[in-house]
């Protein structure tokens, strides 16, 4: 197998066995360590303080805990042909499970999964798209968003909800609707608007969109995706009102950030790793919601005093109800 | 005039200039001396090395060997800026104006009056002063691209004069001018020389040499044949022989009216123009019959370019008709026109007839490329035959058309356009820029085609040439036909028909 | 005509590979001869052709190799600066292409859309019609062809027929999208560069709407079309690449032939050098501009269908991944010659594949991998220019 | 609808327009001299990153603008070294520079700031100051092109370089300087985005504004005044489309996203006949070539 001569090279290189057959690789590696090897591919870069970083943190947490023996993290992997190539190579190198951390990878995951029936493949579909060894994982952000809506309405005297995303995709739209529903628990007549910026990276455009919503009376801002969220936060910083962090603690982005939520992907990925460790090749819809600690809503220090007691109380109530299953946050994926 | 060298003093001394381009020896030990107060004519057949010599003097090129001294100072760095500073101004064979700028802006560019631009009023005043001083009229209200060729040539000259250049180098300045304009230009040169300028002028017209120049240098294939001789010591025959070699000298000096069978008025009309209005043309009518050559004379800028555009199908008539054998011309696509037997020799061969970066063999096929082309070798063999037949001097069919000299490029166009027997020939200044020998060949070819039945419309600048070839001459003035003449042509009457329009020509408007 | 930024004139060498730089002020090969017979002239001409060919060969081989080496040296320094081992990274890149089991077939697959689009660009740029809008044509054509193929009842047709329909629909849709620029240019004088770029953005909006609403799979939760099913391109045995690569590769000799032996190719070249002469002698230049844009658009559209049918089988809203822009580089690095474009497409795709592998197997950041790849392009192009300079100095 | 065309919309349009307008002035200068600067987007991005790091390190957004300008100019100079001095193909080299800047800023940003956290914010410059700066830039460019001899020579170098050369001007020097100034403007445009309305940097923060700027220059027919108007119209189209989305409508939102581009396309068609492309745009100058 290892016919190349870069023996002097660094130790992290794992592809010395690249030319070896798949089976051989898997066996050799399995003999080295019982724990599975986890791979994640992602379409942007890891350190975005948000969605990408959550996956990075989840994977490194699993490695630190010893649940996986090795991790491979590939960023900037374009959906389509490139993603397929990356996942095939990872599968051949014995990585299992392999996680494609964007909903755009759905078709790529399916294409590759069919060829590697013993490897579990997941992607961030967020709607229970599971067949055989190909799975999906939940993104119950709307649950957190609902609670954040309650807090936001409790910290403002009135005004509308502003929602934004790069494009109008279900996970994002559902966040907005849940936020609005949460806010309406405090002020039933609350109105809202949702815009698609047309780009996941254009902060200025996102911010101008949010400023437009602010001019229109919005005081509570919720974004989905990095730049749209940054834009919403910036607009709230400038125009007043409260904003909401997306995945990750965004308190540092300004005083307007009332709450954020963290996504503990080690719990999600951990389930798939457990399946693999147990010898299963049946993927599932891995969901770890708010109730199970998959999401945590962070209320940012200094703001708590501004939130009405009524809202704080309702927040606690709904949190508990969601956790014990008494309350289900409405999921509205489309306008 | 200021203190300085006196009339007759040497201001430029070029000695033993050699310049090779690859295997071509452009200049092979040429001397040139220019003196204050003198007009020095430089002659030679196409490709003799005249332009190269002048480009070296103007710092646009550098010699492989040889010395250049200006005002007694040895030139060691060949650089256009340095040459200008030492008082040399070159009017190049091809225009070097900036087409989008106005005339006065072009002048400013050539002679900046400081970091900031003066007001446009001041610029215009400056232009007007120059125009008055030298009697060279140029408009300033349009970009240079909208000026006629003659006006552009005058502007080039004004620009050179504006630089207070003591040494003026003019490369074929009269090639694009009509006889009258050329005369005027020579008169200006004379005046400048009398004022103390040293002038070198390249020309193909022998008449000009004997009418207005003091000295002459003749080059042939990079070699000096006549060096620094007084014009008065030479005859036309001497100069012609020096230019082209003895065997063809006779043809050059005595081009006479070729006896041409007057066509029967009953012959069919091939080209029919009726009340055509387009651009400057305000209702032109003319017919060209089979076997007939109709000459169009006139001062440049009176509608010739619009007539050309109209007859080549580039623009449709705004009103009136242009018909080939009864079919409206503008309805025919280029290839269909060719299929109708129309040949077109444009005034600007590089724009409308040739694709310079493509091979010569490709250029011979332009306009008649078959859907699926012959293999390369077949095409080249056919092209080689044609090149020999038409005496196009080239490195072969695989060489690019860009490598041809102006005259040979023109012969290439003719080889393509006059191949076979065209029904209608629209020939615009077909001999422009050709040496007399080449011009003669081309005149002959056109006469042969005409004798074979082609209807030829010939837009020309040189009256002698038009007299020699035409069955009829129409004079174009101010966008209309100001007179129709039959042989024997009455030079005075034609001149009048043309000068009539002098009063209304664009420069005066 | 409103064409912008003419390509390096030298990259528009004749299809037969005989002519050199244009315009060259001093071309030793072009000296006038005084041959007196056609045979002598032809012999001289052969000399011209031979010398030009030798020169072109030098340009075609030495320049890219030197450029590559210099770029890798500079890139190596940068890689070392961020604390990685350049040699091991490059070894990974090389192994990734040549020794990974699917390195070569992945390279061919990745080269396919680039090749198709760049062939179209090569035609357009030779004609000096500077479209940069293939990305828009690609996505619009992908949406159109997938829309037709997944429409009711279509899937009952046999696979080969479906593939032919897909190709036809995509080519027509791409051609039309591109043809808009042609019409706007010829009728109104609008710059092709800019109108084609605007149509990329508009095309991307069309893609978003198509996958979200227009041709969406009603079963799908996310923006995704139905699968093209039987229209999926088969894998060609031996080569282990989908059929699209073979189609693209077959276009290379076809387009070489068109350029050198067909009237259309002649007109394209002539148009690029002198549209006025074409207009006066061959065909209205406007018509040619539109024709060229239609061809370029058809090829970009074809790439759209082939990529979907060859790789994923479905269209999603992330299908715009920038092949239309990378292909500009492919076309120009390939010096606008179909064979050159073929090699350039494989080179650029190979670098992509290799660096992907390197980025996976070392800590090399992807942005560094991208940086080194772009350096390769810049130095190859700069090398070309240096060669050009040497030629023009007498 | 009444919320769509308000003073707020107009100021939003200004904020969106300013970085594009300033970069477009840079593109105009290069193109007038005959250099097609397709590296503009990259220069904007480099300028944006340089401005961010300078402002972050010094605490002054004004120094950020200086940093962005200087870095933009340096990238411009580097591009000129390739395309003017080296006569490399302007299209490939320009696009490559843009790609290069994207990768380089991503790499630097990652290494400097964003690992494990959210990058720090910088102070911002207010809109009136940005507007004033933009107008100053516009006035400077107009004055230079219309009132100075060097401006005349620059334009002439883009129209008839051989003529300018024959008059003793240095076409190469003129174009190199123009490309560097072009980079300076682009860098300043990127800097004004980051130090102005945003106060932060993220990867690819310019998000295609350089390409839009190039389109606007063509739309403007290479005239500075129309560049300003074109940039404002583009900003307005974006500001309006974002607000239209908020209104109740059955029109798919993709139409709104495409709106600025559709508007540009229409404007291009309407304006096309009036514009004149610099004749030598994109053509390297070689003395003595045809
Ligand atoms: N740039 C060049 N590259 C190659 N050869 C050249 C170049 N310029 C001139 N030559 C060669 O030098 C010779 C002289 O050219 P030159 O232009 O000086 O002729 P000329 O006397 O001006 O002719 P004409 O009367 O046609 O203007 C030509 O035969 C040509 O082969
Ligand atoms: N780009 C070039 N490459 C090679 N040779 C050239 C090139 N340009 C010009 N020449 C050579 O220069 C010579 C003269 O060119 P030029 O254009 O000056 O014509 P000319 O000498 O003025 O001739 P004419 O009087 O016929 O116009 C030609 O014989 C030609 O071979
Ligand atoms: Mg000459
Ligand atoms: Mg000549």
Quickly list DSSP for A25-43: HHHHHHHH-SS-EEEEE-S
Q: What is the pLDDT of residues B361-416, one digit of tens each?
A: 999 999 989 999 999 899 999 999 999 988 888 888 988 898 887 778 888 999 99
Counting CB pairs under 8 A, whether chains B and A reach 3 or more, is no
Report the separation in Å between the CA atom of B404 and the middle of ligand 2, taken as the mean of its atom positions.
Answer: 5
Minimal C-alpha gap between D176 and chain C (Å): 16
Average pLDDT, chain B: 84
- How many beta-carbon pairs under 8 angstroms link B with D? 72
Report the separation in Å between the CA atom of B49 and the middle of ligand 1, taken as the mean of its atom positions.
Answer: 5
Average pLDDT, chain D: 90
- Asked whether residue D79 is assigned to any structural domain, the reply reads yes
**What Rg do the C-alpha atoms of chain C give, in angstroms?**
22
Give the residue on C whose Cα is nearest the Cα of A125. Answer: C222
CA distance C22 to C273: 9
Q: What integer is the mean pLDDT of A187-208?
A: 92
Look at residue B23 in the predicted model and tell me its pLDDT.
63
Look at residue C390 in the predicted model and tell me its pLDDT.
65
Is the pLDDT at D96 greater than 70? The verdict is yes
Instruction: With CB atoms and an 8 Å threshold, state whether C374 touches D103.
Output: yes
Minimal C-alpha gap between C160 and chain D (Å): 34
User: With an 8 Å Cβ cutoff, is A262 touching chain D?
Assistant: no
Q: Which ligand has the shortest distance to the CA of B219?
A: 1
**Residues near A23 by beta carbon (within 8 Å), at least 6 away in sequence:** none
Instruction: At C300, list the tokens.
Output: 């970009």
Reduced to 3 states, what is the DSSP secondary structure of residue B41? Answer: strand
CB contacts, 8 Å: D146 with chain B: 117
Is the pLDDT at D246 greater than 80? The verdict is no
User: With an 8 Å Cβ cutoff, is C82 touching chain A?
Assistant: no
Q: What is the pLDDT of residues D57-85, one digit of tens each?
A: 999 999 999 999 999 999 999 999 999 99
Instruction: With CB atoms and an 8 Å threshold, state whether B109 touches D152.
Output: yes
A99: β partners: A40, A122
Give the residue on B whose Cα is nearest the Cα of D280. Answer: B98
Look at residue C59 in the predicted model and tell me its pLDDT.
73
Is the pLDDT at B509 greater than 80? The verdict is no
Q: What is the pLDDT of residues D22-71, one digit of tens each?
A: 999 999 999 999 999 999 999 999 999 999 999 999 999 999 999 999 99
CA distance C78 to C371: 9
Q: What is the pLDDT of residues C16-70, one digit of tens each?
A: 333 333 333 334 444 455 567 878 888 877 777 777 777 777 777 787 788 889 9
Look at residue D284 in the predicted model and tell me its pLDDT.
83
Of A13-22, B121-130, B292-301, C229-238, which range is least confident? A13-22
C-beta neighbour count of A282 within 10 angstroms:
11
User: With an 8 Å Cβ cutoff, is A4 touching chain D?
Assistant: no
Instruction: With CB atoms and an 8 Å threshold, state whether A19 touches C100.
Output: yes
The alpha carbon torsion through C139, C142, C146, C149 (nearest 10 deg) reads 150
Is the pLDDT at C9 greater than 50? The verdict is no
- Asked whether residue D27 is assigned to any structural domain, the reply reads yes
Name which residue sits closest to atom 26 of ligand 2, judged by CA.
B407
Report the separation in Å between the CA atom of B143 and the middle of ligand 3, taken as the mean of its atom positions.
Answer: 27
Distance of CA B74 to the CA centre of its chain: 34
Instruction: With CB atoms and an 8 Å threshold, state whether A76 touches C352.
Output: no
Place of tokens 């396919």: C112
**Binning pLDDT at 50, 70 and 90, where does residue A5 land?**
very low
Q: Which ligand has the shortest distance to the CA of C30?
A: 2
Domains defined along chain C, listed by start: 6-15+35-393 (1.10.3470)
- Asked whether residue D12 is assigned to any structural domain, the reply reads no
Give pTM, 2 decimals: 0.82
- Of the two residues A161 and A20, the one the predictor is more confident about is A161
Q: What integer is the mean pLDDT of A128-151?
A: 92
Instruction: With CB atoms and an 8 Å threshold, state whether C32 touches B393.
Output: yes
Give the residue on C whose Cα is nearest the Cα of A4. Answer: C95
Minimal C-alpha gap between C337 and chain B (Å): 16
Report the number of secondary-structure helices (H) and strands (E) in chain A: 10, 12
Place of tokens 């031996």: C238
Give the residue on D whose Cα is nearest the Cα of B52. Answer: D288
Subunits next to D (3 or more Cβ pairs <8 Å) are: A, B, C
Is the pLDDT at A170 greater than 80? The verdict is yes
In total, chain A counts a number of residues equal to: 335
User: With an 8 Å Cβ cutoff, is A149 touching chain C?
Assistant: no
Look at residue A292 in the predicted model and tell me its pLDDT.
84
CA distance C337 to C14: 8
Number of domains in chain D: 1
Report the separation in Å between the CA atom of B403 and the middle of ligand 3, taken as the mean of its atom positions.
Answer: 13
Name which residue sits closest to atom 24 of ligand 2, judged by CA.
B406
User: With an 8 Å Cβ cutoff, is C218 touching chain A?
Assistant: no
Instruction: With CB atoms and an 8 Å threshold, state whether B384 touches C38.
Output: yes
Which of D117, D202, D243 is opposite residue A212, by nearest beta carbon?
A: D243
The finding on whether B92 has its CB within 6 A of some atom of ligand 2 is no
Is the pLDDT at C12 greater than 70? The verdict is no
The finding on whether C30 has its CB within 6 A of some atom of ligand 2 is yes
Of B159-163, C19-23, C168-172, which range is least confident? C19-23
Report the separation in Å between the CA atom of B47 and the middle of ligand 3, taken as the mean of its atom positions.
Answer: 7
Residue A314's nearest CA partner among A126, A188, A226, A166 is A188
The dihedrals phi and psi of D50, each to the nearest 5 degrees, come to: -60, -40
Instruction: With CB atoms and an 8 Å threshold, state whether D149 touches B117.
Output: yes
Q: State how beta strands B73-74 and B88-91 pair.
A: unpaired
- Asked whether residue D244 is assigned to any structural domain, the reply reads no
Look at residue A123 in the predicted model and tell me its pLDDT.
94
Look at residue A45 in the predicted model and tell me its pLDDT.
80
D108: β partners: none
- Asked whether residue D52 is assigned to any structural domain, the reply reads yes
Which of B334, B357, B388 is opposite residue C279, by nearest beta carbon?
A: B334
Instruction: At A63, list the tokens.
Output: 């490695």
CB contacts, 8 Å: D88 with chain C: 8, 378, 381-382, 384-385
Q: Output DSSP code: residue B152.
A: H
Instruction: With CB atoms and an 8 Å threshold, state whether B80 touches D146.
Output: no
Instruction: With CB atoms and an 8 Å threshold, state whether D163 touches B117.
Output: no
CA distance D115 to D111: 7
Ligand 1 pocket test, pick from B42, B45, B51 with the greatest ligand atom count within 8 Å of Cβ, gives: B51
Is the pLDDT at D173 greater than 70? The verdict is yes
- Asked whether residue D81 is assigned to any structural domain, the reply reads yes
Which of A212, A230, A234 is opposite residue D12, by nearest beta carbon?
A: A212
**Binning pLDDT at 50, 70 and 90, where does residue A312 land?**
very high
- Asked whether residue D196 is assigned to any structural domain, the reply reads yes
**Binning pLDDT at 50, 70 and 90, where does residue D114 land?**
low
Which of C130, C208, C367 is opposite residue D106, by nearest beta carbon?
A: C367
CB contacts, 8 Å: B81 with chain D: 167-169
Q: What is the pLDDT of residues B204-226, one digit of tens each?
A: 777 888 888 999 999 988 899 99
Give the residue on C whose Cα is nearest the Cα of B369. Answer: C263
Show the beta-strand stretches assigned E in A159-267: 160-165, 192-196, 218-224, 242-247, 257-263
Look at residue B183 in the predicted model and tell me its pLDDT.
84
Ligand 2 pocket test, pick from B47, B219, B354, B414 with the greatest ligand atom count within 8 Å of Cβ, gives: B47
Distance of CA D140 to the CA centre of its chain: 16
Instruction: With CB atoms and an 8 Å threshold, state whether A19 touches C312.
Output: no
B273: β partners: B286, B322
- Asked whether residue D68 is assigned to any structural domain, the reply reads yes
Instruction: With CB atoms and an 8 Å threshold, state whether A90 touches C360.
Output: yes
Report the separation in Å between the CA atom of B219 and the middle of ligand 3, taken as the mean of its atom positions.
Answer: 12
Q: What is the pLDDT of residues C85-115, one digit of tens each?
A: 899 999 999 998 898 888 899 999 999 999 9
Look at residue A11 in the predicted model and tell me its pLDDT.
39
Domain that holds residue D40: 21-207
- Of the two residues A205 and B258, the one the predictor is more confident about is A205
Give the residue on B whose Cα is nearest the Cα of D158. Answer: B98
User: With an 8 Å Cβ cutoff, is B109 touching chain D?
Assistant: yes
Look at residue A183 in the predicted model and tell me its pLDDT.
96
CB contacts, 8 Å: B399 with chain C: 29-30, 45, 48
Show the beta-strand stretches assigned E in chain C: 235-236, 241-242
Domains defined along chain B, listed by start: 10-244 (3.40.50.300), 264-357+421-499 (3.40.50.300)
Is the pLDDT at C314 greater than 60? The verdict is yes
Q: Which ligand has the shortest distance to the CA of B27?
A: 1
C-beta neighbour count of A64 within 10 angstroms:
10
Closest ligand 2 atom to B49 CA: 21
Is the pLDDT at B505 greater than 50? The verdict is no
User: With an 8 Å Cβ cutoff, is C393 touching chain B?
Assistant: no
The finding on whether B47 has its CB within 6 A of some atom of ligand 2 is yes
Instruction: With CB atoms and an 8 Å threshold, state whether C385 touches D87.
Output: yes
A165: β partners: A196, A224
């Amino acid at each position: 197998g290892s016919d190349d001569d870069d023996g002097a090279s660094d130790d992290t290189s794992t592809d010395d066995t690249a030319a070896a057959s798949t089976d051989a690789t898997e066996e050799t590696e399995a003999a080295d360590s019982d724990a599975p090897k986890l791979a994640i591919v992602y379409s942007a870069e890891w350190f975005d303080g948000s969605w990408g970083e959550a996956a990075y943190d989840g994977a490194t947490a699993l490695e630190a805990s010893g649940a996986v023996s090795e991790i491979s993290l590939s960023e900037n992997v374009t959906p389509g042909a490139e993603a397929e190539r990356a996942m095939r190579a990872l599968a051949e190198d014995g990585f299992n499970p392999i996680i494609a951390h964007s909903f755009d990878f759905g078709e790529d995951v399916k294409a590759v999964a069919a060829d590697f029936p013993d490897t579990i493949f997941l992607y961030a579909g967020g709607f229970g798209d599971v067949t055989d060894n190909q799975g999906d994982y939940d993104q119950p952000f709307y649950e957190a968003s609902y609670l954040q809506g309650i807090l936001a309405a409790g910290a403002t005297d009135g005004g509308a909800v502003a929602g934004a995303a790069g494009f109008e995709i279900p996970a994002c739209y559902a966040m907005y609707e849940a936020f609005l529903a949460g806010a309406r628990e405090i002020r039933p007549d609350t109105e809202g608007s949702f815009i698609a910026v047309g780009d996941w990276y254009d902060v200025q455009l996102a911010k101008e969109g949010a400023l437009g919503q602010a001019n229109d009376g919005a005081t509570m801002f919720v974004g989905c995706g990095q730049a749209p969220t940054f834009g919403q936060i910036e607009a709230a910083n400038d125009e007043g009102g409260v904003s909401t962090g997306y995945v990750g603690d965004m308190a540092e982005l300004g005083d307007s950030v009332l709450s954020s939520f963290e996504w503990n992907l080690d719990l999600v990925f951990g389930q798939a790793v457990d399946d693999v460790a147990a010898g299963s090749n049946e993927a599932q819809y891995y969901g770890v919601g708010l109730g199970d600690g998959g999401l945590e809503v962070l209320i940012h220090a200094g703001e708590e005093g501004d939130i009405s007691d009524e809202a704080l109380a309702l927040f606690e109530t709904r949190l508990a109800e969601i956790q014990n299953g008494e309350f289900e946050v409405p999921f509205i994926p489309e306008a | 005039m200021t203190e300085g060298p006196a009339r007759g003093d040497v201001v430029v001394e070029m000695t033993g200039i050699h310049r090779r381009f690859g295997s071509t020896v452009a200049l092979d030990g040429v001397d040139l001396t220019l003196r204050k107060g003198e007009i020095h004519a430089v002659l030679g057949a196409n490709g003799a090395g005249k332009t190269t010599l002048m480009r070296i003097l103007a710092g646009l090129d550098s010699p492989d060997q040889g010395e250049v001294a200006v005002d007694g100072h040895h030139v060691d760095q060949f650089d256009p800026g340095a040459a200008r500073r030492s008082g040399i101004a070159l009017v190049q064979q091809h225009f070097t104006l900036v087409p989008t700028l106005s005339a006065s802006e072009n002048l400013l560019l050539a002679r900046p009056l400081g970091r900031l631009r003066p007001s446009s009023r001041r610029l215009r005043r400056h232009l007007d002063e120059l125009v008055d001083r030298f009697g060279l009229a140029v408009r300033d209200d349009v970009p240079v691209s909208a000026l006629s060729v003659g006006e552009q040539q005058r502007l080039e000259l004004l620009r050179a004069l504006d630089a207070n250049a003591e040494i003026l180098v003019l490369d074929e300045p009269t090639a694009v001018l009509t006889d009258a304009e050329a005369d005027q230009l020579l008169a200006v040169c004379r005046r400048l020389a009398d004022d103390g300028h040293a002038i070198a002028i390249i020309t193909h017209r022998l008449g000009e040499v004997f009418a207005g120049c003091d000295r002459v240098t003749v080059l042939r294939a990079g070699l000096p044949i006549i060096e620094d001789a007084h014009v008065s010591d030479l005859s036309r025959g001497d100069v012609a022989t020096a230019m082209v070699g003895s065997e063809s000298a006779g043809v050059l000096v005595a081009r006479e009216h070729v006896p041409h069978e007057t066509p029967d008025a009953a012959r069919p009309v091939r080209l029919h123009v009726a009340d055509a209005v387009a651009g400057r043309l305000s209702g032109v009518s003319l017919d060209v019959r089979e076997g007939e050559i109709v000459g169009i004379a006139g001062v440049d800028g009176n509608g010739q370019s619009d007539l050309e555009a109209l007859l080549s199908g580039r623009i449709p008539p705004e009103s009136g008709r242009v018909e080939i054998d009864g079919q409206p011309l503008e309805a025919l696509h280029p290839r269909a026109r060719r299929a109708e037997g129309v040949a077109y020799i444009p005034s600007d061969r590089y724009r409308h007839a040739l694709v310079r970066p493509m091979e010569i063999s490709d250029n011979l096929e332009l306009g008649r490329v078959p859907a699926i082309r012959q293999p390369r070798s077949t095409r080249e063999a056919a092209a080689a035959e044609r090149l020999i037949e038409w005496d196009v001097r080239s490195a072969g069919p695989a060489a690019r058309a860009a490598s041809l000299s102006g005259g040979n490029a023109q012969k290439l166009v003719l080889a393509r356009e006059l191949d076979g027997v065209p029904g209608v020939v629209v020939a615009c200044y077909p001999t422009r820029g050709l040496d007399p020998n080449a011009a003669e060949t081309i005149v002959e070819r056109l006469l042969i085609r005409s004798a074979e039945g082609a209807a030829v419309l010939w837009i020309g600048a040189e009256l002698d040439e038009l007299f020699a070839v035409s069955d009829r001459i129409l004079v174009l003035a101010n966008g209309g036909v100001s007179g129709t003449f039959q042989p024997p042509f009455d030079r005075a009457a034609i001149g009048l028909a043309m000068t009539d329009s002098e009063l209304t020509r664009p420069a005066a408007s | 005509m409103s064409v912008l930024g003419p390509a390096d004139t030298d990259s528009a060498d004749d299809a037969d590979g005989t002519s050199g730089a244009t315009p060259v002020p001093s071309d030793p090969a072009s000296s006038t001869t005084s041959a007196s017979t056609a045979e002598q002239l032809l012999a001289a001409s052969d000399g011209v052709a031979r010398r030009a060919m030798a020169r072109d060969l030098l340009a075609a081989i030495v320049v890219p190799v030197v450029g590559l080496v210099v770029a890798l040296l500079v890139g190596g320094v940068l890689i070392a600066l961020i604390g990685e081992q350049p040699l091991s990274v490059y070894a990974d890149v090389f192994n990734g292409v040549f020794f990974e089991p699917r390195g070569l077939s992945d390279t061919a697959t990745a080269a396919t859309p680039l090749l198709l689009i760049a062939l179209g660009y090569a035609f357009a740029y030779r004609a000096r019609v500077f479209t940069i809008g293939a990305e828009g044509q690609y996505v619009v054509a992908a949406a159109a062809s997938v829309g037709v193929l997944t429409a009711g009842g279509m899937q009952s047709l046999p696979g080969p027929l479906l593939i032919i329909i897909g190709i036809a629909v995509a080519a027509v849709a791409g051609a039309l999208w591109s043809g808009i620029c042609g019409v706007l240019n010829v009728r109104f004088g609008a710059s092709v560069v800019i109108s084609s770029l605007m149509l990329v953005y508009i095309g991307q909006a069309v893609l978003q709407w198509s996958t979200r609403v227009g041709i969406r799979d009603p079963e799908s939760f996310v923006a995704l079309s139905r699968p093209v099913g039987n229209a999926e391109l088969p894998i060609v045995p031996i080569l282990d690449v989908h059929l699209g690569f073979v189609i693209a590769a077959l276009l290379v000799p076809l387009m070489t032939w068109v350029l050198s032996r067909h009237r259309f190719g002649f007109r394209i070249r002539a148009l690029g050098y002198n549209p006025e002469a074409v207009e006066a002698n061959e065909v209205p230049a406007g018509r040619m501009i539109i024709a060229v844009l239609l061809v370029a658009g058809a090829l970009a559209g074809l790439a759209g269908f082939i990529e979907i049918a060859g790789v994923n089988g479905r269209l999603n809203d992330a299908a715009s991944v920038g092949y239309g822009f990378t292909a500009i580089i492919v076309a120009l690095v390939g010096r606008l010659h179909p064979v050159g474009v073929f090699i350039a497409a494989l080179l650029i795709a190979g670098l992509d594949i290799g660096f992907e592998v390197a980025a996976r197997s070392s800590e090399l950041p992807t942005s560094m991998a991208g940086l080194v790849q772009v350096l390769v392009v810049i130095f190859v192009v700069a090398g070309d220019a240096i060669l050009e300079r040497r030629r023009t100095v007498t | 609808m009444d919320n769509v065309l308000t003073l707020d919309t107009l100021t939003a349009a200004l904020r969106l327009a300013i970085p594009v307008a300033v970069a477009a002035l840079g593109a105009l200068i290069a193109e007038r001299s005959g250099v097609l600067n397709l590296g503009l987007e990259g220069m904007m991005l480099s300028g944006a990153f340089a401005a961010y790091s300078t402002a972050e390190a010094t605490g002054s957004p004004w120094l950020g603008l200086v940093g962005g300008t200087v870095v933009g100019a340096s990238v411009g100079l580097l591009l000129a070294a390739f395309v003017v001095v080296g006569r490399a193909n302007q299209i490939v080299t320009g696009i490559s520079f843009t790609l290069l800047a994207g990768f380089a800023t991503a790499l630097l940003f990652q290494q400097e700031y964003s690992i494990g956290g959210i990058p720090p914010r910088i102070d911002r410059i207010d809109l009136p100051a940005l507007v004033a700066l933009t107008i100053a830039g516009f006035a400077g460019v107009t004055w230079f092109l219309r009132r100075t001899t060097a401006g005349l020579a620059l334009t002439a170098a883009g129209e008839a370089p051989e003529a300018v050369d024959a008059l003793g001007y240095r076409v190469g020097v003129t174009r190199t300087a123009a490309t560097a100034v072009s980079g300076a403007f682009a860098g300043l445009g990127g800097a004004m985005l980051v130090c102005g309305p945003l106060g932060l940097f993220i990867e690819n923060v310019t998000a295609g504004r350089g390409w839009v700027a190039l389109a606007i220059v063509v739309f403007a027919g290479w005239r500075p005044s129309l560049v300003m108007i074109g940039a404002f119209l583009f900003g307005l189209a974006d500001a309006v489309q974002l607000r239209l989305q908020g209104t109740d409508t059955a029109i798919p939102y993709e139409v709104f996203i495409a709106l600025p581009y559709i508007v540009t396309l229409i404007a291009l068609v309407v304006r096309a006949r009036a514009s004149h492309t610099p004749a030598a745009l994109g053509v390297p100058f070689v003395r003595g070539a045809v």
